[in-house]
Amino acid sequence: MTDFILKERESEKVPDLLALAVPSFVESEQYRRLDEEDQKVPGLVCAAFTRFFEQLQQAEINAGDKSDDLDRCYAVIEDLALSPDPAVKNLVVTEIFENLQGPNQTLKKIKERLGTESRRLYQSWVDPST
């Protein structure tokens, strides 16, 4: 019998990465709605993060105030999109991009502000032929 070591996948670290990159997310209503076990599930945490992220973007549009937290959200989405782990990229598409539900104005602003790799990933999700 061959010995092997189970390694934690990068995608399993995403909840902790989001919490570290955007500390206010952990204090948000969206995050607090997740129970302790759900807070360990990357897809559920990413979906909650999307609602938090959209709320920040909508608040910036409505109030015109720039937010460091919102800048951190865009930065962490870009970091996730740059991951070499396909499961992490899949989380960006299936749990962040697919969960965007805000008004058209908010979605337009989000698309404009995505980083280079996250914009490329978004575009390839919207139009796989590109």
Model confidence band, residue 1 (pLDDT cutoffs 50, 70, 90): low
With 80 as the cut, is the pLDDT of residue 88 above it? yes
pLDDT of residue 3: 62
- Please tell me the pTM assigned to this model: 0.89
List, for residues 47-61, the tens digit of each pLDDT value: 999 999 999 999 999
List, for residues 90-122, the tens digit of each pLDDT value: 999 999 999 999 889 999 999 999 999 999 999
pLDDT of residue 2: 61
6-10, 44-48, 82-86: the lowest-pLDDT one: 6-10
The dihedral sign for the CA sequence 51, 30, 121, 111:
positive
Distances (CA, A) of 40 to 14, 20, 89: 9, 14, 18
| Amino acid (one-letter) located at 78 | E
| Token code pair at residue 14 | 């995403």
